[in-house]
């Protein structure tokens, strides 16, 4: 497993180097850092958000602002530390709009997500997690199409890349904008999605197909 971990770390470091040179979108020239992703290269769970915000752009790490702190609490509620999962985004550069006091965050454009998709696909390909948790509508739509409606369709299992189980829940930044009864209601929804993730990870890992198993058994 140590060798496998080192192999995946090498592959991810190489892929991150290529992504950091990318200038396919205008935001590639505006961002400070390319926020590739971080975490356990052998993680069973991969968490995918929208795109880096200001703090992430500054530090070059995903989910390190307020939404990141809440994400860590959400993961902690199902017994996972940040280091146990792999965290990244649909786009690696911070999408911004000009604002009076400097650039403001915005959701990634569909073309930016398409341009960045090969980098995300490569991360999924290297890590091959047992489950993917997509946070928020843009991340969900990037896997499930533009008609995905988060309020109606979150909380179900979908088939992600390579047949990996894909769950969608509300983005922690959305939770941070809720108050009072609304907050209690959305927390309940997110908790039920997180419990589904926990149950999926607790299922027995898939066994090798008989043909594969035969390759390693005594003749």
Residues that bind ligand URA (CB under 6 A): 49-53, 56, 62-63, 65, 67-68, 89, 173
H-helix or E-strand containing 70?
helix 66-77
Cβ nearer to ligand URA, comparing 139 with 165: 139
Question: How many residues comprise the chain?
Answer: 219
Nearest distance from C-beta of residue 121 to ligand URA, angstroms: 18
Kindly compute the dihedral angle of the four CA atoms of residues 126, 71, 159, 162, in this order, to the nearest 10 degrees: 0
CB closer to ligand URA, 143 vs 204: 143
* Per-residue exposure over 172-181, b if at least 16 CB sit within 10 Å of its own CB, e if not: bbbbeeeeee
Minimum CB–partner distance for residue 181 and ligand URA (Å): 25
CB 28 to ligand URA: min, Å: 16
202/39 Cα distance (integer angstroms): 20
Q: Specify the residue, 133 or 214, whose C-beta has the smaller distance to ligand URA.
A: 133
Cα 183–Cα 189–Cα 195 angle in degrees, nearest 5: 130
DSSP state of 88: E
Task: Work out how close the CB of 142 gets to ligand URA at its nearest, in angstroms, rounded to a whole number.
Answer: 12
Chain residue at closest Cβ approach to ligand URA = 49
Residue number, 137 or 197, with CB nearest to ligand URA: 137
């Amino acid at each position: 497993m140590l060798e496998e971990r080192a192999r995946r770390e090498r592959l991810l470091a190489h892929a991150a180097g290529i992504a950091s040179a990318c200038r396919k979108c205008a935001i590639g020239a505006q961002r400070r850092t390319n926020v590739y992703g971080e975490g356990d290269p052998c993680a069973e769970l991969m968490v995918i958000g929208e795109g880096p915000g200001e703090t992430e752009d500054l530090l070059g790490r995903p989910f390190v602002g307020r939404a990141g702190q809440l994400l860590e609490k959400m993961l902690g509620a199902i017994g996972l530390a940040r280091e146990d999962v792999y965290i990244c985004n649909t786009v690696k550069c911070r999408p911004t709009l000009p604002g009076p006091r400097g650039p403001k965050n915005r959701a990634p454009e569909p073309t930016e997500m398409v341009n960045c998709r090969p980098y995300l696909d490569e991360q999924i390909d290297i890590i091959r997690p047992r489950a993917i948790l997509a946070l928020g509508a843009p991340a969900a739509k990037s896997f499930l199409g533009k008609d995905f409606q988060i309020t109606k369709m979150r909380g179900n299992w979908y088939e992600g890349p390579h047949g990996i189980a894909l769950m969608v829940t509300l983005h922690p930044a959305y939770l941070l904008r809720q108050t009072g009864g609304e907050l209690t209601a959305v927390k309940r929804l997110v908790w039920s999605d997180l419990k589904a993730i926990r149950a999926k990870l607790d299922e027995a890992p898939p066994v090798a197909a008989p043909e594969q198993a035969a390759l390693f058994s005594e003749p």
